[in-house]
Amino acid sequence: MAFGAFSNVDAPVVEAPRRRSRAAFWLLLPGIAYLGATYLAPLVSLIITSLKAPDLVNYDIGRYLYAFDIGNYATVLGEYWPIILRSFEYAAIATVAALLISYPLAYFIGVVLRRYPLWQALALILVIAPFFMSFLLRTLAWKAIFADEGPVVGFLQHLNILGANAHLNGTPFMVIFGLTYNFIPFMALPIYTSLERLDLRLLEAGADLYANPASTFFRVTLPLSLPGVVSGTLLTFIPATGDYVNASPQFLGSTQTTMIGNVISDTYFNLSDYPSSAALSIVLMVLILIPVGIYLSLTKTEDLL
């Protein structure tokens, strides 16, 4: 459902006579075996790597032996907990901001523009347009626009909102701005898909029963669009927590805005400290799955796909 916007579902859904068959087995086997080998096996590989210990006899950078060193977890948690906390904080703020920005947009496209299909199609294309332009180049474009000599900083200094020596790039604001910007389409599309199916007669029924627009919204529209909100929130929060492009000093961040993804990539590439990198990845995965599980059980959205 996440990218339902791409699929023009105009025919009614037809329930097939479901049957058990060996055909199902052969249809599923290649794809499932593939995911087993390239998704599940690497997770096992990560756990094994996270428990490795350095080879003290033939010491070399990037050389580790199979071991059962749970101490790796204690080390990374002790060393990086402020960064882990910061990642969740940035991702949470960006998710809320993206939700507040995207909901009216999705409502506009899915409900208001419903009577103008051409405009609706055009607006949808504009929402998915960022997918087709390099994410790194778009982020660098923001960096240039918000640069110290750029138009935005100059304007804000002219209004005395920013001091003469102030800058925006490298600040937490900029990282959260970048994250929010990047995930607006991921938030807006699933919400749009939910709102597009909303029966407008329900809103009229609400008005007929003397509900004011606000209570119609909170008691009819919002609950009916909840599956889209859940889906969009997950599609934003999860990748945002692990993102390391926005927070990297080459892009919108600085050494003060390091997120957990930056640490995972630095320990992997620069230090060749594969056990620490793997342990942090497992920690991130577990820490994300806990709130996601709670969130899903609270909102009771079983059919995620």
Q: CA geometry: angle at 234 spanning 232 and 236, to 5°?
A: 70
Distances from the Cα of 31 to the Cαs of 20, 35, 94, 218, in angstroms?
19, 6, 34, 41
Q: Taking CB under 8 A as the rule, does residue 294 contact other proteins?
A: no
> Which of 153, 191, 230, 234 is the binder for other proteins (CB under 8 A)?
234
> Which of 65, 125, 161, 271 is the binder for other proteins (CB under 8 A)?
125
Q: Taking CB under 8 A as the rule, does residue 147 contact other proteins?
A: yes
- Output the smallest distance, CB 38 to other proteins, in A: 4
- Residues 275, 258: Cα–Cα separation, whole Å: 20
**Which string of b and e fits 188-213 if b means at least 16 CB within 10 Å?**
bbbbbbbbbebeeeebeebeeeebee
Q: Taking CB under 8 A as the rule, does residue 14 contact other proteins?
A: yes
Handedness of CA 203, 205, 207, 210 (dihedral sign): negative
User: Residue 225 corresponds to which tokens in the numbers above?
Assistant: 């669009």
> Which of 95, 194, 225, 281 is the binder for other proteins (CB under 8 A)?
281
Q: Taking CB under 8 A as the rule, does residue 101 contact other proteins?
A: yes
Q: Which residue lies nearer to other proteins by CB, 57 or 137?
A: 137
Q: Which residue lies nearer to other proteins by CB, 163 or 196?
A: 196
Q: Taking CB under 8 A as the rule, does residue 85 contact other proteins?
A: no
Q: Taking CB under 8 A as the rule, does residue 61 contact other proteins?
A: no
User: Which of the ranges 6-14, 76-84, 160-168, 222-230 carries the binding residues for other proteins, by CB under 8 A?
Assistant: 6-14
User: Residue 259 corresponds to which tokens in the numbers above?
Assistant: 């997120």
- Residues 243, 264: Cα–Cα separation, whole Å: 10
> Which of 201, 209, 210, 270 is the binder for other proteins (CB under 8 A)?
201
Q: Taking CB under 8 A as the rule, does residue 93 contact other proteins?
A: no
User: Which of the ranges 29-37, 68-76, 77-85, 155-163 carries the binding residues for other proteins, by CB under 8 A?
Assistant: 29-37
Are 259 and 87 in contact, with CB atoms under 8 Å apart? yes
- Output the smallest distance, CB 222 to other proteins, in A: 15
Q: Which residue lies nearer to other proteins by CB, 149 or 160?
A: 149
Burial label, 292 (beta-carbon count in 10 A; 0-12, 13-18, 19+): middle
Residues 157-186 that bind other proteins (CB under 8 A): 181, 184-185
Q: Taking CB under 8 A as the rule, does residue 54 contact other proteins?
A: no
Number of residues near other proteins (by CB under 8 A): 116
- Output the smallest distance, CB 71 to other proteins, in A: 18
- Residues 29, 23: Cα–Cα separation, whole Å: 10
Q: Which residue lies nearer to other proteins by CB, 229 or 238?
A: 238
- Residues 214, 119: Cα–Cα separation, whole Å: 26
